[in-house]
Amino acid sequence: MKAVIMAGGKGTRLRPLTQGMPKPMLKLLHRPTLEYIVELLASHGITDIAMTLCYLPETIRNHFGDGNNFGVNIQYLEEQVPLGTAGGVKQMDWFLDDTFVVMSGDGVMDFDLGEAIAAHRQGRALATILLKRVECPKGYGVVEVDDDGRIAKFVEKPRTWIEGISYLINTGVYILEPEVFDFIPQAIAYDFGKDLFPSLLQLGVPLCGFEANGYWSDVGTLQQYYQTQLDMVHGHVKVNLPDELKVADFA
């Protein structure tokens, strides 16, 4: 399989840490965030990777090169004008000729992608969205699924929620069929969560939701940046760390 990593973010909410640095290159325990994503894909045998770049693209290119040092093959697409998540990925349609994975390059997770891909194939959907169950959905897109795992409703970043009830949120990890490009307009800004998936749902196109087990953090704020590194050191995230950075899990 192939994968696309969306790595064009500026990370304005993480300034001054991202001043002059693309968000995916922000370091977590001495390694760029994007390295953990590449490593996760490679660990599942997904080694043909495309990266969509926009902000300071040369920083990412210079670090990863062709991907050989990381055990993968990397192609790049530089967006001169931001086209949104779906619009940017559509420009790689020539590369994505079979079932593929889309991930954000500015988060950390240890999801079992093999399990998610198997569920996608079993569901025979055009798209499968990996979901995470949380108590507070603030700032995230909420997804409702039916008993068969089909997506029934999207709620874009709800302003209110009920304490004591858990919600399924969109993690920004998608498993897609190449036919999805037929529904993405050419050369205009278009997002997966805000535009494409609600449109597909309205058209009656089958969409699946997969509740992923494991750790996930979008590292979107300074507080999350700090907490994510604590979680990594304490062993809450399955990532490769040097021995000197590991401590006993006392949580």
Give the position of tokens 């062709």. 66
Neighbour count for residue 221 (Cβ, 10 Å): 13
Q: Can you read off the two tokens belonging to residue 124?
A: 């025979």
How open is the CA angle 72-123-96, to the nearest 5 degrees?
A: 35
SS3 65: coil
Q: Is 157 a catalytic residue?
A: yes
**Nearest Cα residue to 183 out of 174, 175, 192:** 192
Cα 115 to chain centroid distance, Å, stands at 16
How open is the CA angle 118-231-240, to the nearest 5 degrees?
A: 60
To the nearest 10°, the Cα dihedral for 42, 45, 50, 54? -30
How open is the CA angle 180-185-186, to the nearest 5 degrees?
A: 115
Q: Alpha helix (H) ranges present in 124-196?
A: none
CA distances 131 to 4, 142, 149, 170, 200, Å, are 18, 9, 11, 5, 18
Residue 76, phi-psi category: left (phi > 0), alpha (psi -120 to 50), beta (remainder)? beta
Q: Among 10, 157, 194, 238, which one carries the catalytic annotation? A: 157
- How far is it, in rounded angstroms, from Cα 211 to Cα 171? 10
Catalytic residues: 157
